[in-house]
Structure 1
Amino acid sequence: MVRTMLTAAFAAAVTLTPVQAQDLGDVVGGIARQYLQQEQDRAAYAQAQSADTRAAYQTYLRQFPNGAYAAQARDRIQRLGGGTPATAPANPTNTDTAGLTREQRLQIQRQLNGLGYSTNGADGNFGPGTRRAIGLWQRDRNYAQTGSLTTAQANEILRGTGGTAATPSAPAPSVGAAGAEADLGLGREQRRAVQAGLTRRGFDTRGVDGIFGQGTRNAIAAWQRANDQEATGYLTAAQYDRLIAR
């Protein structure tokens, strides 16, 4: 249905005046964003169904507390013998940003994107996309999945970018290798291609899942050392091009 609407809208745009086309473009963009969100919701629930555990359905609900499948997920949790988890508030108190400069918040978003946790943009504002990314990052490190960073967690992320620790008077950090990689804007399929390229060359990434976890970072660093380059664990544009080439 959505694909049909998009196709019709694009076809109509060809015959419209520039102003009309711009208006229609805004509509098409909105439809595309809605479709993408629906697809992410569907994929997350399918993943939960595949695992069919309380933890998997709880993870889905944390990502999509009001998703299309939220009722089914809660019902399945009950059937599996567990209560529905408390979900994070829709507008969490941003106490975790009080001691961060805008550049540090940008660094955190870039690092999360570089690790495969999409923040839906890097603008220095911790909106719902960033909160969701933080929650997933916390989950994968066995932290409480709150969507808000403690000072120690903010520092952990910043140190991964070569940034400065989070303190009220801290100077803005340099972009560093992680920020440069984040600026490449690699999508999940592109990250999978990198992991596949490393694996073909004998550098084990511990999976080809499109998420740059510690296994992938170690593999990138090992490949960089083997090619007489600085072993940062983060890719430059030239290194990305080399790795995806067959």
Structure 2
Amino acid sequence: MVRKTLLAAVAAAALAAPVQAQDLGDIVTGVAQEYLRQEQDRATFAQAQQAGTLRAYQSYLQQFPQGIYAAEARQQIQRLGGRTTAAAPANPYGGGGVDLTRDQRLVVQRRLNALGYTTGGIDASFGPSTRRAIGLWQRDRGYTQTGVLNRAQANELLRGTAAAAPAAGTATAGQPAAATSVASAAQAEANLRLSRQQRLAIQAGLTRRGFDTRGVDGIFGRGTRGAISGWQRANDAPATGYLTAAQAQRLSR
């Protein structure tokens, strides 16, 4: 039964967000981890119910402060005469990181997709596909790849600008020069507002030149970013993985 449920969840994620074959493992891992976390949540609360003690419910809350049964556990603790610290309600549009409104999450997903990081839909739900997109975006900017946004990263996506807009090659506090350079390049490419047809033409151009994008699908994912970087290095240009207007025009021919 567990296996069937897990396979169904993986299939649903794959249908909702078509990805390249090399990235399927990331989705499987994300879905599996979320499913196992939920199963552990249920099992731990079931043990607390079976014990029926104050300590058991407190132990559950320590492990799952925003768990599926957190509200019920707090009620049981109060009923048993214990005290629990009131916690802020879990954000219904995703777990971990900075709290965002539904509208803000929609903006973040739109922004990620515009930059070529597919979220598998724009629905304000930060599921495995969106977490994966965030992680790839973080990696490409030199941030720690967590899949969870901190406040500065969320603001960068919401505003549609690289944080602080430093001069090229200049490091900001807590961010290396290489990261700021990539962030600036990413913003410059985003400003081009490349259409899907233009992205297809660019991918085709890279493929003709011997730089494998791992698919010509109009999505600038990991394979395309790697191909762009390789082409840029071969042409003695900064290997940012993001295109300037001149580079995009050249590759489209």
Between structure 1 and structure 2, the one with the greater Rg is 2
Which of the five TM-score ranges fits, normalised by the shorter chain? Answer: 0.3 to 0.5
Normalised TM-score (structure 2): 0.43
Normalised TM-score (structure 1): 0.44
